[in-house]
Amino acid sequence: MAITKQHSFNKISDYSDRWKEGMDYVLVFLLWPLGALLAAFNHWKKPWSKNVFWLFCIFFGFTFVIAERGGSDSARYAEVFVDIAHSDLNLTSLFSSFYSELSDDPDVVSPIIVFLVSRATDNPKFLFMVYGLFFGFFYSRNLWFVLNKIENKVTGMILLLTLTFALINPIWHINGFRFWAAAQVFLFGTLPFLLDGNKKTLIWSAFSILVHYSFILPLGILGIFYLVKNKANLYLAFYLATAFLQELNLQWFQSILSFLPDIFYSKVLTYANAEYAETRMLSSQALQWYVTLPLEGLKWVNYIFVISFFIIGRKFINEREDLKTLLCFSLLFLGFANILSFVPSGHRYLHVANTFIFPFYIISFSAFSRIRKLFILQTFSLPLLVLFCVMSIRIGFNHFGALTVIGNPVSSAFYSYPVPLMDDIKRVL
């Protein structure tokens, strides 16, 4: 009896110590959010660390720099938000518009967020703060789910792979909130199912459709995988075969998706038509090299890693059913993503697929020493991964400013400086 009481007392004491330590870092966050973020990564095994990271995501949204050039999604979000804030839209009208014939917006979550925030303010800063709250919750949970799966010592290679994973869909993707938030939600629901066999989380995979309608496609891919199960050779052949595709017939693509409900299919027709494809192609050609080259680099990293794992780590993969399941789904998803990349805006699915394959790399490198020490993988992948991380952060500099780096919630509430950090750096140089 005395032992039980002592155990309970120790448990309460440990919880009290963890709570106090967590509150200390919340105080640090209130003074300097970026410092708290760095501390969270330094103490990532602590239970409070992911919540400090989540708080930083909210702060990032509040100090987010809305792009004023290039026809960005964030500028459109802000414009629509202000219009709704000054309108007489009510909750009944909002709900009646969902999936109606008169509506051209098949999403649900973003309109609800816009409506609720617009009832309190017409300042877009608060809209993006809530975007940061929503996106950051799933982002922090996904990142820490993978971190907690790391086995043994964290090496430099594992650290680089983890950083790459974090930057595939980073917090500044709230610039295009709907799709990228849906990607985090889909990962949040699907990754535990693949690695832990947790079917309950699949409700979140389905929920991603409400965040962005286009996730009916990843959900369909998940459905195919659920039926076919682990067929590693089949998925590898499919992935490699689709890598050699040179073009896609858009009319064929439209026809195979004609089974979709009208509200979804009408949006497919908007994206998958020749005129829009030509417009997107011209836009892609105008992109800077630092946007396109790192993405090509990740493709080559995938080719090198996947083939190497099949040649050298096949026995290991077969011994780890969880990793085999994750690899098989990732290859199936990557194969479909290769096909979808020929549809205007379809290249985004490659990013989503990469958020599944990189956890496989991270966990495998930490668990399997033979792969971890394979020199050729590090030699060829290291510069490509570093390039991707550096350029991803470089793109992020367009979406946050000095306040995000040196400010705090109090100073940001009273002072606004909507100038991208990249612009300040260019002026100094």
Give the span between the Cα atoms of 104 and 78, in whole angstroms.
18
Q: Mind listing the pLDDT tens digit for each residue in 234-284? A: 999 999 998 887 555 555 555 555 555 655 555 555 555 555 444 444 444
| Least confident stretch, 90-94, 103-107, 286-290 | 286-290
Angle between helix 375-396 and helix 156-168 axes, rounded to 10 deg? 40
Average pLDDT over all residues of the chain: 85
| Higher-scoring residue by pLDDT: 72, 148 | 148
Contacts of 406 (CB under 8 A, 6+ apart): 32, 34
pTM above 0.85, yes or no: yes
Residue 400 φ then ψ, to 5°: -140, 160
- Segment 353-357 shows an average pLDDT of 97
Cβ contact 391:290 at 8 Å: yes
| Least confident stretch, 30-39, 135-144, 360-369 | 360-369
Indicate whether 4 pLDDT > 90.
no
- Segment 133-137 shows an average pLDDT of 98
Indicate whether 408 pLDDT > 90.
yes
Burial class (CB in 10 A: 0-12, 13-18, 19+), 12: exposed
- Segment 139-160 shows an average pLDDT of 93
Q: Mind listing the pLDDT tens digit for each residue in 370-387? A: 665 566 777 789 999 999
The residue among 247, 389, 238 whose CA lies nearest residue 306 is 238
Report residue 102's pLDDT band, with 50, 70 and 90 as the boundaries.
low
> For a pLDDT cut of 90, what percent of the chain falls above it?
58
Cβ contact 24:51 at 8 Å: no
pLDDT of res. 9: 46
CA dihedral 216, 324, 152, 35 (to 10 degrees): -10
- Segment 421-427 shows an average pLDDT of 88
| Least confident stretch, 99-113, 236-250, 358-372 | 236-250
- Facing residues of 400 across strands? 64
pLDDT of res. 285: 47
